[in-house]
Amino acid sequence: MELGPLLEQALMLMLTGMSVVFVFLSILIFLVRQLARFGDPTPPTPASSVTSTPVKAQPGASPDVIAAITVAVQQYRQRQR
């Protein structure tokens, strides 16, 4: 059994397989790009600026509890630095 013809056949099989995969992936990429054009017909909305509004205390929360939470958060942030 000679090695030359087997290597030639293996090379041809490898090149054929790689070519088939390349063509398949190229077609798949093309189709996905075409679907992206038609998939979202709505134009993108401009990003609205986020304005932070101060959080108002719940009617049931006492000012002492809010003050304690504020102090605890400040201490936590100072320790994390």
The 10s digit of each residue's pLDDT in 13-53 is 999 999 999 999 999 999 999 988 887 666 667 776 666 66
Give residue 46's pLDDT.
75
Q: How far apart are CA 4 and CA 21, in angstroms?
A: 26
Q: With contact defined as beta carbons under 8 Å apart, do 77 and 68 qualify?
A: no
> Domain extents for the chain?
1-40
| Residue recorded with tokens 């099989």 | 13
* Higher per-residue confidence, 68 vs 61: 68
| Residue recorded with tokens 């090379």 | 11
What's the per-residue H, E or C state across 38-63? HHCCCCCCCCCCCCCCCCCCCCCCCH
* Higher per-residue confidence, 51 vs 60: 60
Whether the predicted model's global pTM rises above the 0.85 cut: no
Q: How far apart are CA 81 and CA 73, in angstroms?
A: 13
Looking at residue 81, the DSSP 8-state letter turns out to be -
Question: Residue 58: pLDDT band by 50, 70, 90 thresholds?
Answer: low
